[in-house]
Amino acid sequence: MSETVPTVAALVALAEHGIPPDIQELLVVGNAGRGIAPGALRKALLAEHKMLVREIEAACGYLLNAKFDLETGCTKATAIMTIDGGLKRLRGVLAYPLPPSQSGGGDK
């Protein structure tokens, strides 16, 4: 994927939510006089991406632990609790940035 695709997608989302083009331009190009660094939007997107990747990695860790639990003879209840922990992390990523009450998800 081109590195401009996430930025373009974010700009489309900003436009759809009524953010004026001049503000969008500031977020991409920056303005030293206003204290806005060039690439502010991209930097924000990268920070969010890193946070989401960490959450997905944590969920994978839960699932690997559950696999280990099952392979080493732990109870099914222990493995299920571990899987539930991983699923909770994944649901958080899928609901991000909406709280569960708005995402249509929530704990099931």
Report if residue 44 sits inside a domain: no
Q: Tell me phi and psi for residue 51, to 5 degrees.
A: -65, -45
The answer to whether residue 1 scores a pLDDT higher than 80 is no
**C-alpha to C-alpha distance for 21 and 28, rounded to whole angstroms:** 11
Q: Check whether residue 29 and residue 62 sit in a common domain.
A: no
Report if residue 7 sits inside a domain: yes
Report if residue 47 sits inside a domain: no
Sign of CA pseudo-dihedral 67, 70, 71, 72: positive
Q: What is the pTM of this model?
A: 0.66
Helices (H), ranges, the chain: 5-16, 21-29, 40-71, 76-95, 100-103
Q: Check whether residue 31 and residue 71 sit in a common domain.
A: no
Domain range for 102: 52-108
Q: Check whether residue 17 and residue 68 sit in a common domain.
A: no
Task: Write out pLDDT tens, residues 45-59.
Answer: 888 889 999 999 999
Q: Vertex 94, ends 91 and 97: CA angle to 5°? A: 110
Q: Check whether residue 64 and residue 16 sit in a common domain.
A: no
Report if residue 98 sits inside a domain: yes
Report if residue 31 sits inside a domain: yes
Report if residue 21 sits inside a domain: yes
Residue 8 identity (one-letter amino acid): V
pLDDT value, residue 9: 86
Q: Max CA-CA distance within the chain?
A: 63
Report if residue 63 sits inside a domain: yes
Q: Check whether residue 71 and residue 101 sit in a common domain.
A: yes
Tally of domains in the chain: 2
Tell which wins on pLDDT, 97 or 105. 97
**C-alpha to C-alpha distance for 105 and 44, rounded to whole angstroms:** 26
The answer to whether residue 65 scores a pLDDT higher than 60 is yes
Q: Check whether residue 28 and residue 72 sit in a common domain.
A: no
